[in-house]
Amino acid sequence: MNKPLRIVIILLILAAIGGGAWWYLRRPVASDALTLYGNVDLRQATLAFNGSERIAGILVEEGDIVKKGQVLARLDTSRLSPQVREADATVAAQRAMVMKLRNGSRPEEIAQARANLASAKADAANANIQLERRAALSVNSTISKQELDTTKAAAAMADAKVDVAQSALELAIAGPRAEELLQAEAQLRGSEAQLALIRQELDDAELVAPFNAVVRSRLMEPGEMAAPTKPVFSLATIGTKWVRAYVSEVNLGHVRSGMRAKVTSDSFPDRPLDGWVGFISPVAEFTPKTVETEDLRSSLVYEVRVFVEDKDDMLRLGMPATVRLLADEAPKALPQNADRKATP
């Protein structure tokens, strides 16, 4: 074999080795990484008043950012305010009655009862003396039998008044019965409960935001009649956001709870947001008509919710988003109530 042929053979071998090395380094590597497509979702709530009354004022507009506890609307309270004052007065009167029964009789009342008893005893003694005198006179027939009977009746009446005065003194010393005090206390609790109910109705006349949110819709206006079944506002939460995506059954094994992800949107393609898989549906469903996947060969898919850390509030409700799952990174630790948080 001549020298040029050997050189050609060596070059071919080197080329084959280089090509094999290039293919080995550039070959596709099996990975659990997936790209999912979905839409941004977040918690929403419709707010309505607890009572039925005309709306006095609407304090926010659509698009306003509201804080938890902020007053959004008010009802007309011209009928509730007098009811609160009336119930408050009833409670005050009943509380005074309870205090009166607890304190019992005043020393002056007991002293008055003793004085009445002494007066009744004096009257009874005088009546009995008169009876003795007339009885002595009746022996000699100086007075008639009718006059004697009248004197006897007066003496008996005076003795009865002594018993009445004695009982009144004993009642004044003993004070009210325990049953009367229990009855008064029960009536006081009922009045206080009624007052608390009316005050709660007055507090419910203000519609407050249950969480930090954005006002999506303003559904009623001042002057309209509010009711518990008529929503006044539709709110969207600011904090918790997630991408609702779907994964086919063949790729379900590559998705795990807590798996980290990068979320991008068409509006901010160069600003990916950190996220993690917070919910994987345990039940399969048929592919929704609005689902966006690269491969629709499987008609059964599983819903996956990828939570997003959107500190700059870039994502909006319903915005299309792309989720790239990062299989090589450690999964994020999920809270115990992650599944409950994922429920819209």
Q: Which of 51-65, 176-190, 267-281, 297-311 has the highest mean pLDDT?
A: 51-65
Percent of the chain clearing pLDDT 70 (strictly above): 84
In-domain check, residue 215: no
Residues 100, 192, single domain; the answer is yes
What's the pLDDT at 117? 83
Give the lowest-confidence range in 22-31, 128-137, 278-287.
22-31
Q: d(Cα 263, Cα 199) in Å, to the nearest integer? A: 48
Statement: residue 340 has pLDDT above 50: no
Statement: residue 198 has pLDDT above 90: yes
Number of domains the chain contains: 2
In-domain check, residue 66: no
Residues 107, 158, single domain; the answer is yes
Statement: residue 11 has pLDDT above 80: no
- For residue 289, the enclosing domain spans 35-42+239-325
In-domain check, residue 119: yes
What's the pLDDT at 344? 40
With bands split at pLDDT 50, 70 and 90, how would you rate the model's confidence at 283?
A: confident
Q: Average of pLDDT values for 146-168?
A: 84
Statement: residue 300 has pLDDT above 50: yes
Give the lowest-confidence range in 17-21, 80-84, 337-341.
337-341
Q: Greater confidence, 299 or 9?
A: 9
CB–CB of 137/223 below 8 Å? no
Phi/psi for 297 (5° steps) reads: -70, -30
Q: What is the pTM of this model?
A: 0.57
Task: Find the CATH number of the domain harbouring 281.
Answer: 2.40.30.170
Helix (H), strand (E), coil (C) string for 250-265: HHHHHCCCCCEEEEEE
What's the pLDDT at 210? 92
Residues 173, 263, single domain; the answer is no
Q: d(Cα 116, Cα 36) in Å, to the nearest integer? A: 98
Q: Greater confidence, 23 or 244?
A: 244
Residue 52 structure tokens = 């039925």
Name residues whose C-beta falls within 8 Å of residue 272's C-beta, 6 or more positions apart in sequence: 262, 263, 264, 324
Give the lowest-confidence range in 58-62, 97-101, 221-225.
97-101
In-domain check, residue 274: yes
What's the pLDDT at 8? 67
Give the lowest-confidence range in 31-35, 41-45, 55-59, 257-261.
31-35
Q: d(Cα 166, Cα 127) in Å, to the nearest integer? A: 18
| Distance set, CA 226 to CA 56, 74, 221, 274, 303 (Å) | 10, 10, 9, 42, 38
Residues 92, 193, single domain; the answer is yes
With bands split at pLDDT 50, 70 and 90, how would you rate the model's confidence at 12?
A: confident
Q: Tell me which of 177, 197, 217 is where a domain ends.
A: 197
Please return the burial class of 39, using the count of CB atoms within 10 Å of its CB with bins 0-12, 13-18 and 19+: middle
